[in-house]
Chain A
Amino acid sequence: MRDIAASFTLALGLATGGDPQFWGIVELSLAVSIASAFAACALGMPLGALVAVKEFPGRRAVVVVMNSLFGLPSVVVGLVVYLLLSRAGPLGAWGILFTPPAIVIAQSILVLPVVAALARQFVEDAWRGYREQLTSLGVSATRAVPTLLWDLRYSLLTVVLAGLGRATSEVGAVMIVGGNIDGVTRVMTTAIALETSKGNLPLALGLGVVLLTVVLVLNAGAYAVREWSMKRHG
């Protein structure tokens, strides 16, 4: 109980104080998570939408695989990305292992199936209502993809948030490809893991409270935007 109370006090102190090390961790966490979510959305949303609207042989199998990848084990992804980026690996020449770009790559791979699967579901549901009208206007299924993504933009905010949530909460893969290097690749989740292992529970909990607050604020903002837009655009 004392730890929990202390953690909230510490979290408040950290959030209001100007500790550059703490804010550096928060900033890096947000930067890599937003970059990962952005990359995954840029690729995953059109991919999911395309699977939703196109008829092709093996489509059901693709949907099953997409949904299964939802539960992709993060340490396995971390390990594969590590092997690819390690000096002896095929992408070793890039020299980005244990840097933030490596974290972005690993997180993007983890977020991609989440975004693609959820986008597919949203678009498929909408496509049932739009299909006849768009086809009647002469819009092909492929051409309907950007139209549907734009029309569902407010609903798809939920997908973006799910992707962002997946990225910000990631530990295993980030630890493997980032190395949790202080001031370079230490993010909130890996810092929490480290402080917990050191027995510094108030700091770990404090970081956790800050992490939760960030996620809460993002969700509240997205919810407000969605509500406003639904009222305005129907």
Chain B
Amino acid sequence: MASPRAGLGLEARAIRVRFGELAALDGVDLVLDGAQPVAILGPNGAGKSVLLRTLHGLIAPDEGEIRWAGSTERPRDQAMVFQRAVMLRRSALANIEYALAVNGIEGTERRDRAHEALARARLSHLASRPARALSGGEQQRVALARAWALRPRVVFLDEPTASLDPGAAAEVERLMAEMRAAGTAIVFTTHHLGLARRASSDIVFLDHGRVVERTPADSFFTAPRSKQAAEYLQGELP
């Protein structure tokens, strides 16, 4: 397995995000070095998706700061895959090429990288098909290929296998593993404990907008340190 490109150095310090009266994130401190895939778990409304978007830079924190290797400037070499893939009304290949074009990749390199990403997602045969006409699982794989084509240092994935059938979910999981093997840091949220167990080495458990515990995946599922995580694993938290 290739090691991730040196030092992600992502630090979230005392992050607070509010939506009106609701504190979606309430003083989150988190350091991610990207060395190990990280799963963010927690009950509904815990703030998982908000944390992921804040780390990615889509949501500006009301308080606190995000630092990348000491800098507050958001680097471009990162990507995000959303729960529901957003596809432009063009072919699968053109969707990937668009992402590359807006990131300054031109000419034959753009086409080659787009084809390569589709091949990794085992979707080369669907390259010219309208992306929106693909199945949900195929669209999610195109979204992963699009993220991968950008060759990011880190990919954030928000519930990447939600609403997918087992076969499609397995393909997405395989792609995540390949990205990881190729040296891309992986941070994802999920409600699928099986996916979290298989695809992550580190678990960040959130509840009510706070990091309740951070534990290696091996021990989290057998001996969680917090009461909330134990209840969540037993299915008592929503």
Q: Could you say which of A139, A151, A154 contacts B102, with CB atoms under 8 Å apart?
A: A139
A137 touches B130 (CB 8 A): no
A138 touches B103 (CB 8 A): yes
Number of A-B residue pairs at CB separation under 8 A: 48
* Complex Cα spacing A138 to B87, Å: 15
* Complex Cα spacing A138 to B75, Å: 10
B133 touches A132 (CB 8 A): no
A147 touches B88 (CB 8 A): yes
Question: Given A137-B99, A138-B103, A143-B102, A234–B89 Cβ distance below 8 Å?
Answer: yes
Does chain A have a CB within 8 A of B111? no
Q: Could you say which of B82, B103, B133 contacts A234, with CB atoms under 8 Å apart?
A: B133
Does chain A have a CB within 8 A of B76? yes
Does chain A have a CB within 8 A of B56? yes
Does chain B have a CB within 8 A of A2? no
Which A residues, 124 to 147, have Cβ-Cβ distances below 8 Å to chain B? 129-130, 132-133, 135-139, 143, 147
A233 touches B86 (CB 8 A): no
* Complex Cα spacing A232 to B86, Å: 17
B89 touches A136 (CB 8 A): no
For A147, the chain B residues whose CB sits under 8 A away are 88, 98
Contact with A along B64-97 (1 / 0, CB 8 A): 0000000000001001101000111110000000
* Complex Cα spacing A111 to B60, Å: 39
Question: Given A129-B86, A132-B58, A138–B133 Cβ distance below 8 Å?
Answer: no
For A234, the chain B residues whose CB sits under 8 A away are 87, 89, 130-133
Q: Could you say which of B56, B79, B89, B103 contacts A151, with CB atoms under 8 Å apart?
A: B89
A151 touches B82 (CB 8 A): no
Q: Could you say which of B89, B103, B150 contacts A233, with CB atoms under 8 Å apart?
A: B89
Number of interface residues of B (CB under 8 A): 21
For A133, the chain B residues whose CB sits under 8 A away are 82, 86
A232 touches B58 (CB 8 A): no
* Complex Cα spacing A232 to B150, Å: 28
The prevalent SS among residues of A at the interface is helix
For B80, the chain A residues whose CB sits under 8 A away are 132, 136
Chain B residue nearest to A140 in the complex (CB): B102
Chain A residue nearest to B87 in the complex (CB): A234
Chain B CB within 10 Å, residue with most, of A137, A139, A150, A232: A137
B56 touches A136 (CB 8 A): yes
Minimum CB–CB distance for A49 against chain B, Å: 15
* Complex Cα spacing A136 to B103, Å: 11
**Which A residues fall within an 8 A CB radius of B?**
129-130, 132-133, 135-139, 143, 147, 150-154, 232-234
- Given A132-B80, A136-B79, A154-B89, 16 more A-B residue pairs with CB atoms under 8 Å apart are A132-B53, A132-B82, A136-B82, A137-B99, A138-B76, A138-B102, A139-B102, A143-B102, A147-B98, A152-B89, A153-B89, A233-B89, A233-B90, A233-B132, A233-B133, A234-B132
CB<8 Å pairs between A and B, sample of 20:
A132-B58, A132-B80, A132-B86, A133-B86, A137-B103, A138-B76, A138-B103, A139-B102, A143-B102, A147-B98, A151-B88, A151-B90, A152-B89, A153-B89, A233-B90, A233-B132, A234-B87, A234-B130, A234-B131, A234-B132
